[in-house]
Amino acid sequence: MKDLNTTIYDKLVEHILENQNKFYRIAYCYVYQKEAALDIIQNAICRALENYPGLKNTNAIKTWFYRILINECLQYLNKCKREVPCEPSELKEDVYYEEAYEPKLEVYQKVCELPEQLKTIVILHYFEQMTLKEISQTIDVNLSTVKTRLYTALQRLKKEMEVEE
Amino acid sequence: MSKLKDAKEIFDKIEIPKELDQIVTNAIKDHPANKNDIQKYNVKKRNGYVIRRAAAAAAGVLICFTVALNSSEAFAKSIGKLPVIGGLAKVLTVRSYHSSEDNKNISVNVPQIKVDGTDNNQDASTAAAQNQDTSPKDVSQGQTADQANASAGTGAATSEEGTNQFVADINAEINSIVNTYMEDAKKRMQADKDAFLATGGTKEEWAKRDLNINVDYEVKYQQGNLLSLILSADESWYGAYDLKYFYNLDLKNNKKLTLKDILGEDYVTIANDSIIQQMKDKAAQDENIVYWGITDDGKSGIDGFTTVDENTKFYLNKDGKPVVCFDKYEVAPGFMGAQEFVVE
């Protein structure tokens, strides 16, 4: 058992070090604030290192860590809802400086404005290239629910884009 | 949804703050679950140095014990030639460790004096010859304690026990000084850290501060029965807590030497005249140099140097001459640092 734990620990650390930028971007999409996102990363790493012995195999690390990360994000939002400056106007300044109008940014912004449940799925699927099955494992809902949510999310985005136009 | 691809592009452009690396590595290395050496993770990274730093720090507390044998060339020669009078002394590093927590380095070399009269001369000269090195502190790892003990001193059974007791007392004193200093230094470091964090500093910033505690010693003179050594301790961030202890030991008569023992009855006059003359000479050569009470015409109103006495700190230089030492601020302005005067 010890050996397995050591292997898992090694893999986990490797995974974290390799993907830290991705993790940061995801966290940032939830809180739009550098310090908050960094805090979340830190907490997620601590949480993961505390609980890694519960992992059964190394293949699960990816989805498992995403789950921790997203939970941390949601927890953060719940805890200090009032403090989070999640105004899309600020977001524009933070993410993209040059253009006054940028259609690409607009979609991104719409994604960010989605309710968390839907947003998570869009981010994981389209930004992180995860399969729907992986997503279902990550957020611990069954596959058909993931599909439904994704569909809802896309519908909503489409509608919003049409309204804009 | 090609537009979502565009959105991904934006997502991928989210700027990564430079702190991220540090935060991630710190979170990993600070975590108690990290029993393993992070060095294993040879992950290729943009900022390779961060990983290396983390690796160095995460190596954690590394303690090693070394037994060292010190010997000046003169000492080695003398031991080979002379029939030994009294117990010969060696200064060994019996306790030496380096530890690094939180990027704070603690380096400690604790000297202990050994006197041993049981082994024969041949062994002693061999051991000493192995260490023929003019540097006063030649740490040779791998010397076993037995070898280190192989000091000479066949004919001195009479005063041996007294010497052993004397040396044991000195060693105990050195140990006690070091232990007290280390405790205090760690407390000061902790207090400093608490204050740092309480006033808005982060753990990461704290970890970046480079703080060191050093305890070390230097053998200044070692000839026959005479041994002169300085024990020093300092913290890199508090100049005020530097400490120096001077040990000038006569291992035949089992006593700590004073200036009087070296210079004779007239030592006060001899030393004072010499020191004051040297102060005046130095001040004459450089207008920036001031010795309070000696070369400032009393303008500073500070006493500065007055006289040597039995407790004056000194060591013996390699010629066996006493060198009188004054702390920073003791006889001169701080910029001049600690002052030393050889009394010829």
Taking contacts as CB-CB distances below 8 angstroms, the residues of chain A near B48 are none
Two tokens at A103? 């259609």
Helix or strand holding residue B124 (H, E): helix B121-130
The one-letter amino acid at B272:
N
**Nearest chain A CA: its distance from B321 CA (Å):** 60
Backbone angles phi, psi at B254, to 5 degrees: 55, 55
pLDDT score recorded for residue A108: 81
Return the closest-CA partner of residue B241 out of B217, B206, B218, B213: B213
SS3 B162: helix
Low-confidence ranges of chain A (pLDDT < 70): 1-3, 80-104, 164-165
Kindly determine whether residue A21 and residue B25, on different chains, have CB atoms separated by under 8 Å: no
Taking contacts as CB-CB distances below 8 angstroms, the residues of chain A near B51 are 17
Answer yes or no: are the C-beta atoms of A70 and A26 closer than 8 Å: yes
Answer yes or no: are the C-beta atoms of B37 and B59 closer than 8 Å: yes
Contact residues, B window 43-62, toward A, CB-based 8 Å cutoff: 43, 45, 51
Q: Model-level pTM? A: 0.43
Per-residue pLDDT of chain B (344 residues; tens, 9 = 90+): 567 777 888 888 888 888 888 888 888 887 765 544 443 343 333 333 333 333 433 333 333 222 223 333 333 333 333 333 334 566 766 666 666 666 667 778 888 887 765 333 333 333 333 333 333 333 333 333 333 333 333 344 456 778 888 888 888 888 888 888 888 888 888 888 888 888 877 777 777 776 778 888 888 888 777 888 888 888 766 655 677 889 898 888 888 888 888 888 888 999 999 999 998 888 888 877 888 877 776 666 677 788 888 888 899 988 888 999 888 778 888 778 788 899 88
Q: Note the pLDDT tens digit of each residue in B295-313.
A: 776 666 677 788 888 888 8
Taking contacts as CB-CB distances below 8 angstroms, the residues of chain B near A165 are none
Taking contacts as CB-CB distances below 8 angstroms, the residues of chain A near B3 are 103-104, 107, 157, 161
Contact residues, B window 277-306, toward A, CB-based 8 Å cutoff: none
Answer yes or no: are the C-beta atoms of B60 and B38 closer than 8 Å: no
Return the closest-CA partner of residue B185 out of B263, B242, B114: B242
Kindly determine whether residue B10 and residue A108, on different chains, have CB atoms separated by under 8 Å: yes
Two tokens at B249? 């030991």
Helix or strand holding residue B127 (H, E): helix B121-130
SS3 B9: helix
Answer yes or no: are the C-beta atoms of B21 and B50 closer than 8 Å: yes
Residue with tokens 């290396």: B52
B64 vs A: CB within 8 A = no
Which of A24, A103, A126 has the CB atom closest to B8's CB atom?
A126
Kindly determine whether residue A16 and residue B24, on different chains, have CB atoms separated by under 8 Å: yes
Answer yes or no: are the C-beta atoms of B318 and B226 closer than 8 Å: no
Q: Note the pLDDT tens digit of each residue in A128-145.
A: 888 898 898 888 888 999
DSSP state of B64: -
Going through B64-103 in order, the beta strands assigned E by DSSP cover: 89-101
The set of residues, in sequence order, having a beta carbon less than 8 Å from that of A164 and lying 6+ positions away, is A106
Continuous H helices in B199-294: 203-208, 259-263, 267-285
Classify burial at B21, counting beta carbons within 10 Å of its beta carbon; exposed 0-12, middle 13-18, buried 19 or more: buried
B1 vs A: CB within 8 A = yes
Closest-CA residue of B relative to A5 is: B33
**Nearest chain A CA: its distance from B29 CA (Å):** 10
Taking contacts as CB-CB distances below 8 angstroms, the residues of chain B near A122 are 4
- Compute CA distances B70 → B191, B217, B250, whole Å: 37, 11, 17
| Torsion (CA) B110, B111, B112, B116 in degrees, nearest 10 | 140
State how far the Cα of A98 lies from the Cα of A93, in Å rounded to an integer.
9
Kindly determine whether residue A45 and residue B31, on different chains, have CB atoms separated by under 8 Å: yes
Three-class SS string for chain A?
CHHHHHHHHHHHHHHHHHHHHHHHHHHHHHHCCHHHHHHHHHHHHHHHHHHHHHCCCHHHHHHHHHHHHHHHHHHHHHHCCCCCCCCHHHHHHHHCCCCCCCHHHHHHHHHHHCCHHHHHHHHHHHHCCCCHHHHHHHHCCCHHHHHHHHHHHHHHHHHHHHHHC
Q: How many CB pairs under 8 A join A and B?
A: 105
